[in-house]
């Protein structure tokens, strides 16, 4: 009887060890989802309140036509807000993570272009009132976006498994 009790205890300890990584995966998923969601919500707020200033920031990148910049300035902040709310509330996390990945890849691309060209501009990431960013500020934003991209991939992968 003692042997069965000991092996039962060992089996239970083994099962707890197996469950532990899954708990970490869920925690990493929730952490990633909340961080990316809050970042997108925060990033959208000043752009929603002043689309004209955001349109000027977009124009300073010299990547899209001027008439297209106004459309981007009107719709992109709302898309960011809906992505953020979806991730925060865990509503359609796979769709929201896919959209966040697309946007973050675009942001990394245009920030990299600005960095390569040596353009000191307001990146428009979190505020339309911010002054011009130096090269090191733009590089910092690129690194931040890469981190957010990794977190978005974590949400995407985990939401596909769910």
The owner of tokens 């955001």 is 54
Residue count of the chain: 162
Which pLDDT tens digit goes with each residue over 104-159?
999 999 999 989 988 878 777 777 666 667 778 889 999 999 999 999 999 999 88
Contact (Cβ atoms closer than 8 angstroms) between residue 60 and residue 130: no
| Among candidate residues 131, 96, 133, 129, the one with its CA nearest the CA of residue 111 | 133
Confidence of residue 66 (pLDDT cuts 50, 70, 90): confident
Question: What helix, strand, coil percent values describe the chain, rounded to 5?
Answer: 85, 0, 15
Higher pLDDT pick, 101 / 132 = 101
Q: Which of 14-23, 48-57, 85-94, 153-162 has the highest mean pLDDT?
A: 85-94
Reported as type and span, the H/E element at residue 10 is: helix 2-49
Contact (Cβ atoms closer than 8 angstroms) between residue 28 and residue 154: yes
* Domain boundaries defined on the chain: 2-161
pLDDT value of position 12: 47
Contact (Cβ atoms closer than 8 angstroms) between residue 94 and residue 156: yes
Residue 75: other Cβ atoms inside 10 A = 11
Residue 1: other Cβ atoms inside 10 A = 5
pTM confidence score: 0.79
Tokens of 99: 């959209």
Question: Measured over all CA atoms, what is the biggest interatomic distance in the chain, rounded to whole angstroms?
Answer: 81
């Amino acid at each position: 009887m003692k042997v069965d009790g000991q092996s039962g205890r060992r089996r239970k300890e083994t099962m707890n060890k197996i469950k532990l990584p899954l708990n970490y995966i869920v925690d990493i998923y929730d952490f990633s989802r909340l961080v990316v969601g809050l970042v997108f919500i925060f990033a959208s707020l000043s752009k929603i309140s002043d689309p004209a200033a955001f349109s000027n920031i977009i124009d300073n990148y010299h990547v899209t036509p001027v008439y297209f910049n106004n459309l981007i300035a009107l719709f992109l902040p709302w898309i960011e807000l809906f992505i953020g709310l979806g991730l925060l509330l865990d509503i359609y996390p796979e769709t929201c993570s896919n959209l966040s990945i697309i946007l973050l890849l675009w942001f990394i691309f245009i920030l990299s272009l600005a960095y390569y060209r040596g353009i000191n501009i307001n990146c428009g990431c979190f505020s339309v009132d911010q002054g011009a960013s130096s090269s090191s500020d733009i590089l910092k934003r690129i690194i931040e976006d890469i981190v957010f991209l990794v977190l978005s991939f974590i949400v995407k992968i985990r939401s596909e498994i769910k």
